[in-house]
Amino acid sequence: MTMKFCLTIAAITLVLSSCYKQSIADAMLGITGSKQTTTATLSYEINGNPVSISVKDADHQLAGSPTLYCEKSGGYILSGISSFGEIVFTFYTDSLKVGNYKYTSYYGPMYVTSFEGKPQYVYNPGDNMNFIVTSYTDGHITGNFSGQLTPAITPGYPDNIYGTPGSVLIKNGSFKNVPVFY
């Protein structure tokens, strides 16, 4: 008799929980069904050479070495790794929002990416990286970017030796659904 009672309660628990397909948070937010996995992408052309990064299920990238993400650390650091190397840009803000984030050489040298084996910097007057965040929704940012960079032909300390000013152009840059980690 007692066994039957206990098993009945256990069965009711299972049945009731299976009747509610949504989590409490999803029910309160009006989200129905299963969430789709998010694919994050970033692409651009550097002196005409196309670069593309795509990460499936971007919210669950390999811990310790994610491929494409934005992390709040001081500002917000956008980082992507492709076969060309990495691209890095820092949004200098305490709270990332939709808007225009432009970095110029006025603020000092900033490493952005590598190209043809040379690190590329915002360094000379006229150099810049201009990122526009067009959407920041559900923990993911989307937008576009462009820039003008100068190669460091001989990296060194305390100062690099730079090559032709503004000789590296980044065009048609875009990023979509890049997860923002805290």
Partner 1 sequence: MGKGSLTAFLVFFLMLQVNAQIGAMKLVGNNTKDYSMGFGAFIKTGVPVSDAADITLELSANIFPLKGYGLDYGTIMCPLVAGYRYTLNGTGQGLYIEPQIGYNLVGITSLPNDGNDIDLKYHGVVLAGGTGYLFTIGSAPFDLNLRYETVIAHGGSNNMISLGISRFISFGKRDTDY
Q: How far is the CB of 86 from partner 1 (least distance, A)?
A: 20
* Contact (CB, 8 A) for 76 and 96: yes
Q: How far is the CB of 130 from partner 1 (least distance, A)?
A: 21
Choice between 139 and 163, CB closer to partner 1: 139
DSSP assigned state of 105: G
Q: Residues 95-108, buried b or exposed e (16+ Cβ, 10 A)?
A: ebeeeebebebeee
Q: How far is the CB of 18 from partner 1 (least distance, A)?
A: 9
Choice between 1 and 161, CB closer to partner 1: 1
* Contact (CB, 8 A) for 118 and 164: no
- Ramachandran quadrant class, 47 (left: phi over 0; alpha: psi -120 to 50; beta: rest): left
Choice between 31 and 169, CB closer to partner 1: 31
E strands, 1-104, are 40-46, 49-55, 68-73, 75-82, 85-91, 99-104
* Contact (CB, 8 A) for 75 and 86: no
Q: How far is the CB of 112 from partner 1 (least distance, A)?
A: 24
Q: How far is the CB of 36 from partner 1 (least distance, A)?
A: 10
Choice between 19 and 161, CB closer to partner 1: 19
Choice between 2 and 83, CB closer to partner 1: 2
- Residue numbers at the binding site for partner 1 (CB under 8 A): 2-3, 5-14, 16-17, 20-29, 31, 33-35, 59-60, 95-97, 136-139, 179-182
* Contact (CB, 8 A) for 71 and 91: no
